[in-house]
């Protein structure tokens, strides 16, 4: 999952980015409205955390612009002005939730995860699909109640696919949303991870949870719920 953090205070920006990275996100950061506006339009983003009081271009303006450009990822506004008028304005502009400074780490992570789940069409913190259960809070995967040990990258691939259950996800998309800019990107590696995931989740090759669509990508094949 790729998160975008737009916050002008350097320390706070690094702090939030650190929280999210610790939770398995790939994080991009912007220090002002202008940079933020560009990243919102051009970067692959799964969730954005936007401060309302930004230099150059206001957070509200960035949100409006994102929605105008049909960028549909969930947006959480971060505000120091805890007046309701500000919250309403932000939500009206297209944000999905708000967080008032100062906040607790757990609250930030829980709300961010909830936003992602909601935008993926999941209503519970446990993504249940067939006999597979992915607990987004504990980052634990079980099959028929038995825990499956995954590496952190394998977990991230699985989470992304399940979040987008039913949708075709290309290898490029997976690379874009799961790798940091500075990491070496090789879409062939994705094939390796998918193979390993299949082996761990479905050792008997009977359930076929991840379908390969030749030339276009992968799809989580089981229904939600």
Which residues lie closer than 8 Å to 200 by C-beta, 6 or more apart? 148, 149, 150, 154
Using the contact rule CB under 8 A, the part of the chain among 64-72, 89-97, 164-172, 196-204 near another protein is 89-97
Pick between residue 50 and residue 148 the one whose CB is nearest to another protein: 50
DSSP characters over 169-204: B-HHHHHHHHS-TTS---HHHHHHHHHHHHHHH-TT
166 binds another protein (CB under 8 A): no
Compute the least distance from the CB of residue 36 to another protein, in Å. 16
Cα–Cα distances (Å) from 213 to 203, 218, 224, in that order, read 20, 6, 20
Total site size for another protein, rule CB under 8 A: 28
Using the contact rule CB under 8 A, the part of the chain among 57-65, 93-101, 140-148, 207-215 near another protein is 93-101
82 binds another protein (CB under 8 A): yes
73 binds another protein (CB under 8 A): no
81 binds another protein (CB under 8 A): yes
Using the contact rule CB under 8 A, the part of the chain among 56-64, 97-105, 174-182, 206-214 near another protein is 97-105
128 binds another protein (CB under 8 A): no
What are the structure tokens assigned to 100, written together? 């008032």
Cα–Cα distances (Å) from 42 to 12, 99, 176, 178, 196, in that order, read 24, 25, 12, 16, 32
Compute the least distance from the CB of residue 216 to another protein, in Å. 31
Compute the least distance from the CB of residue 142 to another protein, in Å. 23
Compute the least distance from the CB of residue 52 to another protein, in Å. 9
Compute the least distance from the CB of residue 55 to another protein, in Å. 11
What are the structure tokens assigned to 214, written together? 């030749």
**What x-and-dash track marks residues 2-21 binding another protein by CB under 8 A?**
-------x-xx--x------
Nearest to 105 by CA among 208, 18, 27, 202: 18
CA distance 145 to 85: 46
Which residue has 């702090």 as its token pair? 15
Q: How far apart are the first and last CA of the chain?
A: 21
CB 81 within 8 A of CB 69: no
Which member of 57, 91, 140, 175 binds another protein (CB under 8 A)?
91
Contacts to another protein by CB under 8 A: 9, 11-12, 15, 53, 80-88, 91-92, 95-98, 101-105, 114, 118, 123
């Amino acid at each position: 999952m790729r998160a975008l953090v737009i916050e002008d205070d350097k320390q706070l920006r690094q702090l939030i980015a650190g929280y999210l990275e610790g939770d398995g996100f790939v994080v991009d950061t912007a220090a002002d409205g202008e940079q933020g506006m560009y990243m919102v339009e051009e970067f692959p983003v799964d969730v954005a955390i936007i401060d309302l009081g930004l230099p150059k271009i206001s957070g509200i303006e960035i949100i409006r612009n994102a929605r105008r450009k049909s960028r549909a990822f969930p947006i959480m506004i971060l505000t120091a002005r805890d007046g309701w008028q500000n919250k309403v304005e932000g939500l009206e502009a297209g944000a999905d939730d708000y967080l008032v400074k100062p906040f607790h780490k757990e609250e930030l992570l829980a709300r961010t995860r909830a936003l992602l789940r909601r935008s993926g069409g999941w209503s519970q913190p446990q993504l249940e699909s067939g006999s597979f259960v992915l607990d987004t809070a504990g980052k634990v995967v079980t099959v028929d109640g038995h825990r499956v040990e995954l590496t952190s990258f394998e977990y991230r691939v699985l989470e992304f696919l399940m979040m987008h259950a039913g949708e075709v996800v290309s290898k490029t998309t997976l690379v874009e949303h799961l790798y940091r800019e500075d990491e070496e990107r090789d879409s062939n590696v994705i094939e390796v991870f998918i193979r390993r995931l299949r082996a761990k989740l479905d050792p008997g090759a009977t359930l076929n949870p991840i379908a390969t669509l030749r030339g276009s990508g992968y799809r989580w094949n089981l229904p939600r719920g």
